[in-house]
Amino acid sequence: MKDHFMEEVVTRHKNGLSRALYLFSWLVIVVSGVLAVFLFSTVSASLTRGAFQWQPLVLLLLSGGICGYTYFFHDKILNEFEYTFTNGALDFAEVYNNKKRKSLGSLNVKNVECFGKVNSEAFRRYVSMPGIKRMNWFLNREAELYFFYFTKDQDKKMIILEPSEQLVEYIKEYLPRGAYRE
């Protein structure tokens, strides 16, 4: 058996809205940041005059909070998933704006109980099971989606992803007998 290695990145097919939201988040950061600086000078001036007003302080905290929150989380608007397949082991990661990478976990394909397309009868049976933890690691609902069903530490888990046809063929080679369902 030869070695199989494949790495693929899943991006949004229709990325216009995400890009617009990302640019809008920068506008929110700049406007709320400038407002926070202006309000800080107003609050500090009112303190030096001895005529403290609480309204500018509340607005300062609100605009500063909006600026900080938007700054730290705006990269998550532009996300993509990365699947790395190495001889039967799949590693999953989420990448934010090509800057930050968050590892989602690993899966040994030989431990999978069922693998197949999301539009199959097997998927409908497994997804309706009580107590199943579902992880959606895909971006395009209109893409050909597949699922893994497995049990880990007596927890029922399902991963839904959008692999390429070549990756599906590699996965099929390492699956246990009878785990692939059409």
71-89 per-position pLDDT tens digit: 999 988 889 999 999 998 9
92-147 per-position pLDDT tens digit: 999 998 889 999 999 999 999 999 999 999 999 998 989 999 999 999 988 899 99
- Cα separation, 32 vs 62, in Å, equals 9
Looking at residue 92, what is its pLDDT?
Answer: 96
Domain edges within the chain: 16-76
Of 160, 128, 159, the residue nearest 143 (C-alpha): 160
In three-state secondary structure terms, 72 is helix
Looking at residue 181, what is its pLDDT?
Answer: 82
Give burial (CB, 10 Å; 0-12/13-18/19+) of 75. Answer: middle
Looking at residue 1, what is its pLDDT?
Answer: 55
Phi, psi dihedrals of residue 112, rounded to the nearest 5° = -80, 135
How high does pLDDT run on average in the chain?
90
Asked if the model's pLDDT at residue 17 lies above 80, the reply is yes
21-75 per-position pLDDT tens digit: 999 999 999 999 999 999 998 888 888 888 878 888 899 999 999 999 999 999 8
Looking at residue 29, what is its pLDDT?
Answer: 95
